[in-house]
Amino acid sequence: MKKPLRNLAVGHFLNEPFVEACIPHAARIREVFFAWPGVLSCRPAPEFTDEIRGRMFADLMWCRENGILLDALFNCNCYGDNAISPELADFVEATLRDMNGRGLFPDIVTTTSPFIATVLRQRFPRVKIRWSVNLRVHGTTGFECVEELFDSFYVSREVQRDPAALAHAREWADAHGKVMGLQANSGCLRQCPFQQFHDNLHGHNRIRQSGVGAKFDFSVFRCRTNYARRNWEDFIRATWIRPEDMPAVERYVDVVKLATRRHRFPVKVLNAYATYSYDGNLLDLMDPVHSDLFAPHVIDNKSFPEDFASTVAACPHANDCRHCGGCAAVLERVMK
């Protein structure tokens, strides 16, 4: 029997017991990624009470003791007036020293900031730096000009269903000594024009939480607005990869990222991708979860055609849709 790959990167979650969920799949989990208390990232932060902090530190220590790498996130898209500043540099340094004092110095730091990457190279040269998926670099051309600033990278979601693009990125990664990954369960729209704007807001808690958008009938979640209008076919042409189809892409990547940090059903996601199988509503695995917008319908994961990954998902026109009817045919088959 083939030994299971240890390639999953799991986002630390607090809404279900983290260690209990990870224990059955410890042989599959390579990394856990997280935002340290006080660090804004590309997800809303929980309220870090003493109890929550204690749980998080204990969970991360369990990971360290079980050979699971720690990946600390500094992946806001916007740091405002401090984006290039001694204050931000000192904050990053102080954060890593705090982690070190607790025995949780990170093996990896994932960032969207070239400035933070530069500071880490200078002050913590032993830390492995990863370019965030949020940078949305669509090919190796974008990585070549900053090669000295990172050790690993996530390919952009828009190319991760394309075998030719993955093969070329893998070849480049091997030639340049880089670790390569992808995100499996993104619920975002393909090429969403709102995504950069949305990601930037995560650096601004006050703006994000102000509720002003509702006064203008405006939602930053374009995916939710789109699906509320019953544009359900866009889900099929998105960028997620089904658990059953992961073997087709694992040959190209070292890391498979599971977005579970603020997920409604993180254990369901972990179980599905760790076992390469899921019998249920595929919408429940995505981040963000859109199940309510399709109700009473579901997307039956077991109804997908066996050749989905090699045909519809790998469509050469996925980023320049011709509305050929392929996605519509799949939607008709899987929507129950």
Range 317-323 average pLDDT = 89
Tell me how far apart the terminal alpha carbons of the chain are, to the nearest angstrom: 35
Helices (H), the chain: 18-22, 50-65, 86-101, 114-123, 140-144, 163-176, 195-201, 205-208, 212-215, 222-228, 233-236, 247-250, 266-275, 291-294, 326-334
Task: Out of 91-95, 97-101, 190-194, pick the least confident.
Answer: 190-194
**46 has a pLDDT exceeding 80:** no
For 182-230, write each residue's pLDDT tens digit. 999 999 888 888 888 888 877 776 555 556 777 888 888 888 888 889 9
Range 244-255 average pLDDT = 95
Range 38-48 average pLDDT = 81
What pLDDT score was predicted for residue 2?
62
Cβ 334 vs Cβ 313: under 8 Å: no
For 269-292, write each residue's pLDDT tens digit. 999 999 999 999 999 999 999 999
pLDDT-derived band at 295, boundaries 50, 70, 90: very high
> Does residue 1 sit within a domain?
no
> Does residue 257 sit within a domain?
yes
What pLDDT score was predicted for residue 1?
52
Residue numbers of the domain that contains 50: 8-334
Q: Where are the beta strands (DSSP E) in 147-261?
A: 152-154, 179-183, 255-258
**268 has a pLDDT exceeding 80:** yes
What pLDDT score was predicted for residue 263?
94
Q: How many residues does the chain have?
A: 336
- Please tell me the distance from the alpha carbon of residue 124 to that of residue 139, in angstroms, as a whole number: 28
> Does residue 3 sit within a domain?
no
Report percent pLDDT > 90 for the chain. Answer: 71
The CATH number that applies at residue 139 is: 3.20.20.60
For 112-127, write each residue's pLDDT tens digit. 999 999 999 999 999 9
Range 241-251 average pLDDT = 95
Residue 178 sits at φ, ψ, to 5 deg, of -110, 150
What pLDDT score was predicted for residue 284?
97
> Does residue 2 sit within a domain?
no
Report percent pLDDT > 70 for the chain. Answer: 97
What pLDDT score was predicted for residue 47?
83
What pLDDT score was predicted for residue 213?
76
The mean predicted confidence, pLDDT, of the chain is: 92
* Tally of domains in the chain: 1
What pLDDT score was predicted for residue 206?
54
User: Taking Cα atoms as reference points, which of 295, 252, 260, 275 lies closest to residue 162?
Assistant: 252
pLDDT-derived band at 167, boundaries 50, 70, 90: very high
> Does residue 138 sit within a domain?
yes
Range 150-174 average pLDDT = 94
Sign for the pseudo-dihedral over CA of 205, 289, 17, 242: negative
Range 244-264 average pLDDT = 95
Range 163-167 average pLDDT = 94
Q: Give the count of beta carbons closer than 10 Å to the beta carbon of residue 39.
A: 16
